[in-house]
Each structure stands twice: as C-alpha cells, then as structure tokens.
Amino acid sequence: MEVERDQTVSSPTVPIVDLSNLDKELVARAVVKASQEWGVFQVVNHEIPKELIQSLKKVGTHFFELSSEAEKEAVATPANSKDIQGYVTNSQQDVEDKVDRVDHLFHNLSPPSSIDYRYWPKNPPEYRQVNEEYARQAKKLAEKILGWLSEGLGLDREALFNQGFGGGKKAVYTMKINYYPPCRPQANLVLGMQPHTDIHGLTILVPNEIPGLQVFKDDQWFDVEYNPSIINILMGDPIWMSNGKYKNVLHRTTLNTEKTRMSWVVLLKPPYDMVIEPLMKHTGDGDEAPKFKPITYGEHVERKVRDKLQKRS
C-alpha cells in the first residue's frame, strides 16, 4: 500500500472507550465498533494505577539514559541470535535508508517458562519489580478486551484468548520499550518506525509526552493524541482470526527535532506452533466461509520478516 507522507490529520477522532461505564454492554459495543472501523482505540479508567505507569516509565527511561554502554550491552541480543529478546540499537541508521530508526529493549513477561532474566536490566534495581507488577495489570486488561471482542463475534468470552492465543499457560506477553532520539534537522521527513501492521495479536501501548504515533484510516494519517490517563490498544495481524471483522491497523512513528520519544508496549502473541485461523460461530445452516487459510504463528512471523527484508533490498 502506497501512502503519502503529507496526508496527516491532527485529530482526536481515534475512539476513546471509558472502561468505568457501568453499562458493560455499551463498553463492549464501543470496543467492537472501534476494532471494526479503526483497529485501534484508547481506553480510560482502565484500573492500571497511575503511579505504576509512572514507575514503568521511570525505570525504562533510566535504563536508556545510562551513561555506561556496557550496562546496555549486558542485556543486548547476541549476534546472529534468532531470539528477539534483548537490547538492540538502530537509531543511528542513515536517514536516507527506509529502516526503523529506534532503539529497542525486548523481554518476555509471561508465561514463566518464556522469561529469561538475562535480558532484564539490573539497573535500576527496581526494574524487575515494576515490570512484573505492570505485567499482571496489563494481562488483566488484555483478557478483558479479548473477552469483549470474542462476544462481538458471537463466541464464548474466552474463545479468542484460549483458542486464538493458547490461554493462560501458552499466550506470550512481551515488553518492548521503544527509544526514539531526536532527529535534526529533518525529523518531519524521517520516520522512527516505518508504516506497518503489528506481527503479533494485541498491543497495549503507553507513550511518553512526546507525540509521534500515527494511524492510517480512509487514506489519511491521523495523529494519536497523548493523554497521561490513556492507554492505546492496537489490533495486530493475528486478529484475522475474526475472519476480517476486526482490522489490523497500519501505523507509523514520526521523530521529534528536539526531544526523545519513548513508548512502553506490551505485546500479546500466540506460541509459534499455534495454528491461526478464523474462529467463527457455527450455526449449522449458512455457516460463514473462512476468508483466511490456516497458518502457524511461526510461519506468519517468518513470512513477514522475509517480506520486510525483501522490501529493503
């Protein structure tokens, strides 16, 4: 899909859903409608404590601003490793190259069998405690949202989480911290992250106060407004298990000329050997035909990475 860089609309039209509304049917309908029309929405009154989010940002920022490169390299992804976990730096890429100009820190949060603490920073000392508590809160939010999305498909509340992601013992939650240094003098011409849809299923995103996230809808880029009380929810590729009813949102990140942008992202994805296929309510007469062929999540990842590398060459 070819998209023009100057088709940007600064607008607060990305749907906002208040999870504290006592009418939960109304909340569920709002989540479903936003997922069908946008593939992205923002939630307020999500029950994740403000102080916890502030602590998450504080410990993550502390790590990326360490003066010692050795401490960052201590949790770096090993050379030639297929493991995505660890610290990776790409922020100094040539601005002429169409590559992501961002430093990352990845590490799994759940299930326990997927966690490798070698990739968790030791500095600051409270990093692990804060991230473990945030993981507990983010998991509750993710499962609540998937429940509403399941019911929006006419399925049992647990269907998407259990049949689509493998349930509590298999579904993988990963923390990804993005660090976008300032880019001068042409930040308006350079993207921190190129237009893409997420390879995993559900994204829970908290940014710092520097704007930059944009989503694509109706042939336009929309700025996603920042509010410290808001958490952003984005649908990723495996949401095709809805058989096309929910969108996987195309999005990108722009750079700031003066200030560093950061975001803390919890990614929910199936295990690599899990088959991703449309989950539909079977009513017997007139069953809906599947629009997507079954594929393992691992095969999907390999295919998408391969396509991305081919576009660069």
Residue listed under structure tokens 């039209």? 13
Predicted pLDDT of residue 313: 54
Is the residue at 125 inside a domain? yes
Residues 176 and 197: their CA atoms lie apart, in Å, by: 16
More confident residue, 197 or 81: 197
The active-site residue out of 33, 62, 170, 196 is: 196
pLDDT tens column, 117-175: 999 999 999 999 999 999 999 999 999 999 999 999 999 999 999 998 988 889 999 99
Give the mean model confidence (pLDDT) for residues 4-21.
71
pTM (two decimals): 0.90
Q: Which domain holds residue 254?
A: 8-279+286-312
Burial 159-186 (b: 16+ CB within 10 A, else e): bbbbbbbbeeeebbbbbbbbbbbebeee
Give the mean model confidence (pLDDT) for residues 248-274.
93
More confident residue, 257 or 32: 32
Is the residue at 117 inside a domain? yes
Predicted pLDDT of residue 48: 98
**Confidence label for 281 from pLDDT (cuts 50, 70 and 90):** low
Residues 155 and 220: their CA atoms lie apart, in Å, by: 33
The CATH number linked to 193 is 2.60.120.330
Is the residue at 31 inside a domain? yes
Predicted pLDDT of residue 12: 53
Lowest mean pLDDT among 13-27, 51-65, 100-114: 100-114
Q: Is the pLDDT of residue 72 over 50?
A: yes
**Confidence label for 239 from pLDDT (cuts 50, 70 and 90):** confident
Is the residue at 70 inside a domain? yes
Predicted pLDDT of residue 188: 53
**Token pair of 106 as six digits:** 């990845």
The active-site residue out of 46, 72, 144, 176 is: 176
Residue among 170, 184, 191 at smallest CA distance from 268: 170
Is the residue at 233 inside a domain? yes
pLDDT winner (highest mean) among 64-73, 88-97, 111-120:
111-120
The active-site residue out of 72, 200, 247, 251 is: 251
- Catalytic residue check, 144: no
Lowest mean pLDDT among 1-5, 290-294, 301-305: 1-5
Predicted pLDDT of residue 280: 74
Q: Tell me the CB-side half-sphere exposure of residue 71, using CA atoms within 13 A.
A: 12
Residues 25 and 280: their CA atoms lie apart, in Å, by: 21
- Catalytic residue check, 237: no
Is the residue at 2 inside a domain? no
**Number of domain units in the chain:** 1
Q: Is the pLDDT of residue 4 over 50?
A: no
Give the mean model confidence (pLDDT) for residues 167-186.
87
- Catalytic residue check, 107: no
Give the mean model confidence (pLDDT) for residues 179-194.
69
Please report the sign of the dihedral spanned by the C-alpha atoms of residue 81, residue 117, residue 305, residue 261: negative
Burial of 92 (C-beta count, 10 Å sphere; 0-12/13-18/19+)? exposed
The active-site residue out of 198, 217, 237, 245 is: 198
- Catalytic residue check, 291: no
Residues 152 and 84: their CA atoms lie apart, in Å, by: 33
Q: Tell me the CB-side half-sphere exposure of residue 267, using CA atoms within 13 A.
A: 22
**Torsion angle defined by CA atoms of residues 184, 188, 193 and 194, in that order, rounded to the nearest 10 degrees:** -130
**Confidence label for 186 from pLDDT (cuts 50, 70 and 90):** low
Give the mean model confidence (pLDDT) for residues 11-37.
93
pLDDT tens column, 221-237: 999 999 999 999 999 99
Is the residue at 51 inside a domain? yes
Q: Is the pLDDT of residue 6 over 50?
A: no
Predicted pLDDT of residue 92: 53
